[in-house]
Structure 1
Amino acid sequence: MEDTGSTAEAKTTAEDGNLQMSDRLLKSTKPLHRFVRMEPRSLGIVILLFGCAEILMGFQLHLAGENRRTSLNIYSPFWQGVLFVVCGNLSIYTGLHPSKKMMTVSLSMYVVSLLGIIVSGVHRIVLLSLYQRIRRWNRSDWITVRMDLLYGIEGMLLTSSLCALVLLIFLIVVARMALKSTNENVQVIVQQSLPPGTPTAAN
């Protein structure tokens, strides 16, 4: 009776050890966990801050009542800020609860935000060159101060957009690689461990 109990206990211990080892192996090689190791939550917080800064500067431009051309002509501070906020929240949530569905949604929003940065970036570069021309051809000190102020605001927003662009490109590459790995065929090897003393069938 004692031999049977010790055999059953040894079998249970061996199975628990195999399950723990398999779980550790799964977590170390699973593509979703490799994505989590790239710290999408930290990058999401940074993108979220960029989005909040974009929206706040958009309100400042709106309250200033500037009659010259600014980013508000296409409302880029607002829709780009909203895109950054959404991407940041999705990155944080995906880092906390990784899944293939959430990673696909995050990847889609990353691409949309990337396209938005390209559109707003081209528009802001045109605005910066316009401010330079106005400043060069006008002798009024008031116009010079206004152009310097608008140049600084639009330049700061363009710089923050370029920083967010680098982070989004990195997240797109990492998420795409993780999704590609999950779509590949996975081979599963099943091992059956028999307790000691169990006779095996002869071939």
Structure 2
Amino acid sequence: MEEIHETGKHYYNNLTEKQKYIAKEMFFLADLNGDESLSISEYVNFLGDMGFKSCNNKSFFAKLDKNGDGMLDFDEFLSLYYLYCSDKLVFCDGRGCGAFLKGTYFTCIDCFNNESNTFNLCSFCFYSWNYDCHKHTTLLDNSSLLRYMKERANRRSSYASNKSSIVDTRGDYSSSEKTEVEIQMEVEIGDVAALCSGCSIM
């Protein structure tokens, strides 16, 4: 967590004044008694009101509490704020696990692309099959997922360019439609090829 604590402070320092104001307001909103620190009860109640289930507990509070005094000052709160704003509050969906995923973890790409909720596993739960039956089969580690997303975005952009350049000189709509379908198939095949060649773990 040390790296996250440091990143949180640097993240805050690079915010605009308006964004810094929002971060402070969020902290003051959680600080019900106005003592400029968050107790465990204030922390749990605040995150519960925001709808966070996986991190509104004593275990995650202790990770954020860098000096171990049982309270979160503003600097320690910034770690939570950074994780929240950067969408890095990710926890393991393994059976009975719930570990905070701050290093390498595995994500279901189908859920990532198409579902409202992602499905993520820590390395231990992934390798030991410690999870309930999942409807999809392809999981990538987070580094490979970034490469997959980049390749997918590039291919989508290429598809859009090719689609806009299609000219049906014969006025035959079915011919143009077929061409678009063929291009789309190439994109999907390219996605799968990139997935297989660029990822060491599946």
TM-score for the superposition, normalised by structure 2: 0.27
User: Greater helix percent: which structure?
Assistant: 1
Bigger RCO of structures 1 and 2 (CA < 8 A, at least 6 apart): 1
Q: Higher strand proportion, which one?
A: 2
